[in-house]
Structure 1
Amino acid sequence: MMADTPIINGLYAITPDESNTDQLLSKVSAALKGGVRLFQYRAKMLNETQQFFQTEALKPLLDRYHAHLIINDNIELCLHLDAFGVHLGENDDTIAAARKIIGPDKVIGVSCYNSMDRVKNAVQEGADYVALGAFFPTTTKPDAPRVTIEQFKLTQALTELPIVAIGGIDLQNAISLIKEGVKTMAVINSLFMSDNIEVTAKQFIKLLKS
C-alpha cells in the first residue's frame, strides 16, 4: 500500500468515452483549471491503439498540473505511462496479479459495487481504495447495482481505506452524500457534459471542502 494513498480524496474525475483526442484534452484541461487533480482514464469504446495514443497525449498535460492518472483496466498501459495506478473491475485482473506486475509503489483501486464480500476481499488482498456504486441512477452504467448509505457505513466499519462513491452523482445529490461522510466521489457526465467544466469542477470541490 502506498504512503500517498490519501491522495484518493475529494473529486475524482473519470474521463468520458471520447474518440476525438483534441476534444478529450480540452475537457480535461478545463477540469484541471477547475482544480481537479485526480483522474481515471476510462475508454471502453476505444481499442488499445487509440487508448495508447490518447494517454500519451494526456499524461504530459496532467503532469504539468501535478495531477495523478489512474488507468482503468489496463495494467500494461499503466506501466508504460508510469501512471499513478490502475483501477480494476469485476472481470479484470486480480489485485495479486496486478500487484505482481506493477509493484508495490502504485495505487490499485477496486470496484466493489454494492458487495461487502468484494470490499472484504479487496482489503485482504491489498487494495489501496475501494469504489462503491451506483449511488444514483446513471446513464454510464444503467444496469449497475444500487448502493445505499447503510452499505457505505458498513464499508467504513470494514476498512480505513479511502471509499470512492460513484454513480449518477451531480451537484445536487452530492450534498446528501457529503452529509453522510463521503469524502471522495467519482464523476463523469455531471462534470464533462456540463456547460462549463471548469466552473462545475470548482463547485464540486467547494462542496467537498465544506
Structure 2
Amino acid sequence: MAREPQIPERPPARLYLITPPVIDDLEAFAAALEAALGAGDVAALQIRLKPADEATIVRAVERLAPIARAQGVAVILNDRPDLAQATGCDGVHVGQEDASVASARRIMGANAMIGATCHDSRDLAMEAAEAGADYVAFGAFFATDTKATTHRPDPEILTIWQETVEVPCVAIGGITAETAGELARAGADFVAVSAAVWRHPEGPAAGVRALNAALATASVAA
C-alpha cells in the first residue's frame, strides 16, 4: 500500500528584532543588544534609524553587527541597499517608497536577504515575491508609536499567505508578548518587534524571554 505523503510541520515562528528609530547612546544600546540577544532565540536584527544621516547609520552598523553575528543573528539594514552592501550587512529591508526589490537585489547580489514591506496587501506581497524577495512583511497589526502607520491587516492575511505561497512572511507593528502568539498561530514565520523588547519594564533580556515563551507556547498550541 502506498504511503500517504507526509506534510512537513511548519517550524515555530521566530523573533525578528528591530532597533529603536533613534539611538542616543550607541555604547549603552550595544550593551542592551548584547543582553537581549543572549537571552534567547532571535533570527534577525534590523537596524532601522530614522531620521539619521549616513555617518550615523554606518557607525551603528559597525558597532552592532558584530554583536549580532556573534549570536548567529542576521543583520538587516532598513531602506538603504547601497549602505547595506557597503557595510557588509546580510540583507536589506525596503518599504514601498524605497528602492525596489529588484534594484536591491542588483545592488546587494544573489546571496543577500531582501525583505519588503507589503502593508495589508497580498498583491504587493505577490509582486515582491515574484521580484525575488526572501520575505514579505505585513502590518501594522496593532497600534504602534515606533512609526506612523495607516494599514491594519487582519491576521487572516498571514493564514492565506502561509497556505498559498512558500516565501516566508513577517508580522510587524505594535506586537507584544500578549499578541505574538496569535500572529504566530495565524501563520507568521517571523514576528517583528521593537518596543516590546527595548521598553520592557524589566529590560531587553526579559522582553526577549517573554516573546520567545509566547512563540513557543503558540507552536505547541498549533
TM-score (norm 1): 0.90
Distance 2:55 2:12 in 1: 28
Letter in 2 for 1:14: I
Task: State the identity as a percent.
Answer: 33
Q: 1:192 Cα shift?
A: 0.8
Cα distance change on mapping 1:147 and 1:67 into 2, 3 Å: same
Distance 1:32 1:72 in 2: 19
1:63 to 59, 69, 76: 69
Cα distance change on mapping 1:37 and 1:157 into 2, 3 Å: closer
**1:50 equivalent in alignment to 2:56:** yes
Where structure 2 has 5 or more consecutive residues not aligned to the other structure, the ranges are 1-9, 218-222
Match of residue 3 from structure 1: none
Bigger Cα Rg: 2
Letter in 2 for 1:104: A
Give the match's secondary structure for 1:113. coil
Cα distance change on mapping 1:86 and 1:8 into 2, 3 Å: farther
2:199 to 186, 193, 199: 193
**Deviation sequence 1:173-202 (CA, Å, 0-9, x none):** 223223323331000111111122112201
Decide whether the 8 Å contact of 1:8 with 1:129 is kept in 2. Answer: no
Equivalent residue runs for 1:81-92 within 5 Å: 81-92=87-98
Over the aligned positions, Cα root-mean-square deviation in angstroms equals 2.0
Q: Which has the higher contact order (CA 8 A, sep 6+)?
A: 1
**Count of residues in Structure 1 that have an aligned counterpart in Structure 2:** 205
Distance 1:198 1:205 in 2: 11
Distance 1:170 1:13 in 2: 12
Q: 1:37 Cα shift?
A: 4.0
Equivalent residue runs for 1:106-117 within 5 Å: 106-117=112-123
Distance 2:18 2:12 in 1: 13
Cα distance change on mapping 1:152 and 1:66 into 2, 3 Å: closer
Match of residue 28 from structure 1: 33
Decide whether the 8 Å contact of 2:140 with 2:149 is kept in 1. Answer: no
Match of residue 182 from structure 1: 188
- The more displaced of 102-111 and 79-88 is 79-88
Distance 2:46 2:116 in 1: 12
Q: Which runs of 4+ in 1 moved over 6 A?
A: none
Match of residue 6 from structure 2: none
Distance 2:210 2:17 in 1: 13
Distance 2:12 2:199 in 1: 23
TM-score (norm 2): 0.86
Decide whether the 8 Å contact of 1:135 with 1:165 is kept in 2. Answer: yes
2:14 to 10, 28, 32: 10
